Amino acid sequence: MSVMKILTFPDPRLRTVAAPVEKFDKSLKKLTDDMLETMYSENGIGLAATQVNVHKRVIVMDISEERNEPRVFINPEFEIKSNKSLYTFSEGCLSVPGFNEEITRPDQIILKWQNLDGDNLEDEPEGLLTVCIQHEIDHLEGKLMVDYLSTLKRDRIRNKLNKRI
Ligand code: GNR
Ligand code: NI
């Protein structure tokens, strides 16, 4: 396994729309192992392939306290069950390091995805998983947490991150 380099905002490669996975082979398993190692090494709760410059529809996640429940979502999609119930959460992003921002999202969704064998799965998640999966699917669409903020806030974050190096 190996730790991969994470792209940071405003790297234009984070704006790439990821392509669906068609081959459920060994190299897909290796990618998810490397992504999990990368996520754990950065203490993240999720990681989208886009963030490691692989433009395929692959997400890894572990929202457990003990950090021993790795999950893999291939070709994930969600449908909003109801827009009536919204949830505001202070989100962080490994591609926007050092910033936490409150973001409001629908919290009743139907989630569909495939596992590493290509089996189709479906669930109605709750709580943190609902927030995290929407955050990660945004990455696969080239969308970032900062896109939910005002232009002023986004520009401030961009300036600070540009000055960092
Ligand atoms: O580690 C992460 N924490 C987090 C907290 C609240 C909402 C979403 C997240 S995902 C983030 C890791 C990351 O950047 N995934 O893309
Ligand atoms: Ni993120």
Active site residue 79: no
Given this model, what pLDDT does residue 165 score? Answer: 67
Task: Please report which ligand is nearest the Cα atom of 94.
Answer: 1
Closest atom, ligand 1, to C-alpha of 95: 14
Q: Provide the residue-wise pLDDT of the chain in tens; the chain has 165 residues.
A: 899 999 999 999 999 999 999 999 999 999 999 999 999 999 999 999 999 999 999 999 999 999 999 999 999 999 999 889 999 999 999 999 999 999 999 999 999 999 999 999 999 999 999 999 999 999 999 999 999 999 999 999 999 999 986
CA of 94 relative to ligand 2 center, distance in Å: 5
Write out residues with Cβ below 6 Å of ligand 1. Answer: 44-48, 51, 89, 91-95, 131-132, 135-136, 139
Task: Please report which ligand is nearest the Cα atom of 38.
Answer: 1
User: Atom 4, ligand 1: which residue's CA is nearest?
Assistant: 92
Given this model, what pLDDT does residue 15 score? Answer: 98
The bridge status of strand 120-123 relative to strand 100-114 is: antiparallel
pTM, 2 dp: 0.98
